[in-house]
Structure 1
Amino acid sequence: MNQSKPDPVPAYLLWVKDAPLFIDELNLGRFYDAALRPAFDEKAPVKLKLTEAMKEDIKNKYGAKGSAGLANWLSFIASSSVEVAAEHEKAKSRSEGSETEIVLQPIGTPHRQLEQLTIFYLLERPSQLLVGGPDDVLMWHQHSLGLSVPRPLVFIDLPKRSKIIPMAAEFVNGKVVTLFDKLLAGNGERPPKYNRDHKDEYWKWFDRNFDPDTALTALEEAATENGRIEWVDFRVPIGEIPNTLHLHIEVAGKYSTGTFGYRLIRRGEGHGLRIVGSLRDGPDVNVLALYEK
């Protein structure tokens, strides 16, 4: 007897069911409000439709894996309830023949907001849900996708050996510290000064001389002097140098330096990194969540 197989789940969707290394509660909440909150009633639910044709489009566009099934995955997220401000708020799914209705109730926890935001972009703004690796990031930049409004939601898979270079950070004491100028080469050579007319050589120098231990030490020493991080910027060389991906992470003093030192710089180089964020021109990404591999 033949049994129909469940609609497969795109691999990147599974990221949001992992515990994040970092999640930006403040900016994620703002993004969530801008995208999902109805204009005249912020407590009203958002109702989405998932048709068979949409399932096929998702499968063809993103690729898929897993056995839980796309509809089941959406149902699993949507049916999870949490307590917020002493009120039980949840989202639910209801099958209607070949069409599934997804009802997203307003919710206040960042992990659930990211899950609902992913569902919303997947079903309502599929052209602005961008998934890929370093080469795809360059293509998005070449096509000026970061200039669109609302901002694209991006899932970026950085491979192992990625060079996550700390550039600058602000700390809880209000001091902004540059870090790139402390990343000496193995022979003691200092980084060159930035020159827009010679930026190829500038970024090639950092790519050629990157050492995760040196980068980790620069960030840790700055934090020892100034306290926890408020925000931190990184550059990641991608494609042919001088192409770099700029990562802006707003920490708000809520995470230890080790999160952005060893677990980001060191493990990112050794194992790779998964990034969820909003895309800007650059290519720049405002990081909403980070996941380890």
Structure 2
Amino acid sequence: MYASLVLLVSERPQKRYRVPRQDPRAVRGRGVDTDTGTCDDVSLDSQPRQSLIFVLMLSLLMSTLGFTHSALDEKLQWMLDAPFFIDDTQLNAFYDAVLQPQVSREESIHIEITEETARNLGTNLDIDVNPLALAGSLANVLGPFNVKASGGFGFSRDSSQTETKTIDLQPIETPQRQLIQLTTQYLVNHSDRIFFVDDAKQDRDWFDPAEIERVPREVVFLDLPSEERAKAKNTPKTKLIPMAVEFADGTIETLYDKLGAKRRGDSWAPYIQNFSPEEAVEVLEEAAEGKGRIEWINFRVPLDEDITARVHFEPRGAYNNGTFAYNLIYLGYKHGLRLVGTVNREPDIRVLAGYRK
């Protein structure tokens, strides 16, 4: 299958690139020459089929280079899932702040990936990446979305800088795709302001006050563990302790004081130790009775023993209270969550999107 796909995109060769010959058997077809160790450049128009072919060919080339499944792919591809929560209002405002000052709605957003870009990203995220691998990882999440939304996804080789890759994005309105474009912009141009946190007990740089105060606004991908994984890794379980909430009728209520634990000074330890996801869901549902849907809600999430982060959601009445609480609190505790958000001091995470595992 790969050979026939490579043949389709290599009928109009423009330039050829050097490919290390690690395993000639891994590369077949006219797109890659196993004798010379080179491959064709490709030029794509906006047809979805060609974009898909491009991604597959790029994956094949990445395999030759030793990037069959890069660490960056693992960190990005869960954005291709349907989120159980997404803050479209905040995402749109953040998207305009980060991307739109450069362009009008009719113009494309031009992003260049250079050797320096890849080097900085590799240093900041502690991964081994080059421009080709980075472009391939981004293509995996950008390609299928942008073809449908805007009719075009460009990937080209710059004529003056031999290691520069170019991505052209079209301004879009859908929040899921805005999040992907925002992530692309941060990875390429602000890689020191994006954090992928797999173990909140070990990864602490992201909530250092000095780090949070820097600009542009910090973005965090927070991977919260399942109950089983937390036990195996000896990390805090995913305990979303409901703190306060506002409902559609304007009522604001505290919730933590209804959980059957008493706070000692500034410590949240009693709530962490006595947390029950069933009780937390029940408290929230009882508080919501007759008051309408949730406008916003704050939680506390333990990062390490008595260290917690405040986690802020703004559903704005878009979700059924029971479904929202069950997906977030109960299933989050059992199976884990993936949250993407911006970070303020305390730390305080303003959630842009949430994904179930």
TM-score, normalised by the number of residues in structure 2 = 0.70
**RMSD across aligned C-alpha pairs, in angstroms?**
2.5
Q: Is the alpha carbon distance of 1:236 and 1:101 closer, same or farther for their aligned partners in structure 2, counting shifts above 3 Å? A: same
Q: Is the alpha carbon distance of 1:290 and 1:178 closer, same or farther for their aligned partners in structure 2, counting shifts above 3 Å? A: same
Q: How far does residue 83 in structure 1 lie from its aligned partner after superposition?
A: 6.7
Q: Of the candidates 151, 155, 159, which is equivalent to residue 93 of structure 1?
A: 155
Q: Does 1:5 align with 2:65?
A: yes
Unaligned 5+ segments in structure 2 are: 1-20, 25-63, 227-236
Q: Does 1:238 align with 2:303?
A: yes
Determine the structure 1 residue equivalent to 2:355: 291
Q: Is the alpha carbon distance of 1:63 and 1:223 closer, same or farther for their aligned partners in structure 2, counting shifts above 3 Å? A: farther
SS in 2 for 1:127: helix
Determine the structure 1 residue equivalent to 2:178: 113
Unaligned 5+ segments in structure 1 are: 185-189
Percent identity, aligned pairs only, is 37
Counterpart amino acid of residue 201 in structure 2: D
Q: Of the candidates 209, 221, 240, which is equivalent to residue 164 of structure 1?
A: 240
Q: Is the 8 A contact 2:138 2:184 kept in 1?
A: yes
Q: Does 1:255 align with 2:319?
A: yes
Counterpart amino acid of residue 339 in structure 2: I
Structure 2 Cα separation of the partners of residues 156 and 36 of structure 1: 23
Q: Of the candidates 103, 107, 112, which is equivalent to residue 168 of structure 2?
A: 103
Q: Does 1:155 align with 2:155?
A: no
Structure 2 Cα separation of the partners of residues 52 and 272 of structure 1: 36
Q: Going by fraction, where is strand more abundant, 1 or 2? A: 1
Q: Greater relative contact order (Cα 8 A, min sep 6): structure 1 or 2?
A: 1
Q: Does 1:28 align with 2:28?
A: no
Structure 1 Cα separation of the partners of residues 76 and 202 of structure 2: 17
Q: Is the alpha carbon distance of 1:53 and 1:157 closer, same or farther for their aligned partners in structure 2, counting shifts above 3 Å? A: same
Deviant stretches of 4+, over 6 Å: none
Which residues in structure 2 correspond to 1:1-293 (within 5 Å)?
Answer: 2-3=23-24, 4-5=64-65, 7=67, 8-10=70-72, 11-38=74-101, 41-55=104-118, 57-59=120-122, 61-63=125-127, 70-79=134-143, 80-81=145-146, 88=150, 90-96=152-158, 98-132=163-197, 133-135=199-201, 138-160=204-226, 161-184=237-260, 190-192=261-263, 198-200=265-267, 203-241=268-306, 243-293=307-357
Q: How far does residue 71 in structure 1 lie from its aligned partner after superposition?
A: 2.2
Between Structure 1 and Structure 2, how many residues are aligned? 276
Q: Is the alpha carbon distance of 1:162 and 1:36 closer, same or farther for their aligned partners in structure 2, counting shifts above 3 Å? A: same
Q: Is the 8 A contact 2:120 2:191 kept in 1?
A: no
